[in-house]
Amino acid sequence: MRDPTDRRPANGRNLRELPGGREQWRAGDGGCPPAEAVAERWARTRTFHHSRYTAERIARERTMSVSVCVPAKECAGTVGRVAAELVGLRERGAIDEVVVVDAASRDGTAAVARRAGARVLQEAELMPRFGEVLGKGDAMWRALSATEGEVVCYLDADTDAFDSHFATGVIGSLVCEQGVEFVKGFYRRPLAHGEMRVPDGGGRVNHLTARPALALFYPELAAVRQPLAGEVAARRELLERLPFATGYAVEIAMLIDVWREVGLAGIAQVDLEEHRNRSQPLQALVPMAHTVLATIARRLQREGRLVEPPVGEQAAVAVDTREPDADGVDADERRAPERPPLASVRVA
């Protein structure tokens, strides 16, 4: 197990193992390149466009099975098209499994997804010994135990006018490019307010919180365009080694943890062009931004770069010494801000 205070990526995989050459960094004494140069080189060599990866190319070149998981909550208006597009990819041989994980939606989300051909699971029925499902990240973690693919792709259920390229872009970058173990999508997020439409005005927490925080504390990740994007594909064995933040912060936590596991050489990003969904009012973004910052702060604390836990998070990061419940799950673990790596728990 890696030392949690070591913030370097596994095996030092950064600039020299990126595709496109292995030139030495020339900076006086021949030492390591600055983080900014590492990030820029990564962006040049590990950024792709979704158009490279058609369903036919994926079906022809992939050697691993692929599951697509769509966490959903009150998405009856959009999940039908999402599921139908994914079922079409399954029929064309690009993927093997389409799973919608529903959060007991009252608007008929589960029925709509099922009619479109998806396998539908209720999040509360997955790994129930861990108690109440604590948000999107928890649902993603539990769903990992119920899918079978060697590659797992997560997609959002609330995307308007969903197109299959949201799936083929992230999956193709992983199965068609050598050495890639984790892929994030990025896109333009338009912001509409009445008659006004700002083409790139959405994704405010991403632009104003997540990216600046990464640039400051994890500069090697500064070139990741959409750290909070819900469009992700990864190798199962990698995901099973990671803890999962339980709520909104699952994406930023996963990105940092993946970087520490496989380094930049194992990460890619893919341009998905435009993503449209319902924009949140500014007031609703405040707790989201707080969650992102608190999650980064927890990782800084583990690395020894932050002495005190983030305000309001003391209980969440404190070591609990009480005995587990009768079913083997610690009482505080039920309310934990993160779930442990799936490989470390017994799945039932």
The CATH number for 307's domain is 3.90.550.10
Asked if residue 265 belongs to a domain, the reply is: yes
What gap in Å lies between CA 187 and CA 66, rounded to an integer? 23
Contact, 275 vs 201, CB < 8 A? no
Per-residue pLDDT of the chain (348 residues; tens, 9 = 90+): 455 545 555 544 444 455 544 333 333 445 567 888 999 999 999 999 999 999 999 999 999 999 999 999 999 999 999 999 999 999 999 999 999 999 999 999 999 999 999 999 999 999 999 999 999 999 999 999 999 999 999 999 999 899 999 999 999 999 999 999 999 999 986 656 556 565 564 567 888 899 999 999 999 999 999 999 999 999 999 999 999 999 888 999 999 999 999 999 999 999 999 866 566 666 777 888 898 999 999 999 999 998 876 565 443 333 222 233 434 444 434 445 799 999 999 765
Beta strands in 1-111 (DSSP E): 47-49, 66-72, 97-102
Asked if residue 259 belongs to a domain, the reply is: yes
Whole-number pLDDT of residue 23: 36
Whole-number pLDDT of residue 330: 42
SS3 at position 120 = strand
Asked if residue 44 belongs to a domain, the reply is: yes
Query: Token match 């913030």: residue?
Result: 7
Asked if residue 105 belongs to a domain, the reply is: yes
Residue 229's CB is within 10 A of a number of other CB atoms, namely 25
Asked if residue 27 belongs to a domain, the reply is: no
Residue 311's CB is within 10 A of a number of other CB atoms, namely 9
Contact, 48 vs 271, CB < 8 A? yes
Domain that holds residue 50: 12-18+32-317+331-341
Asked if residue 90 belongs to a domain, the reply is: yes
Asked if residue 326 belongs to a domain, the reply is: no
Asked if residue 85 belongs to a domain, the reply is: yes
Q: How many domains does the chain have?
A: 1
pTM of the model: 0.84
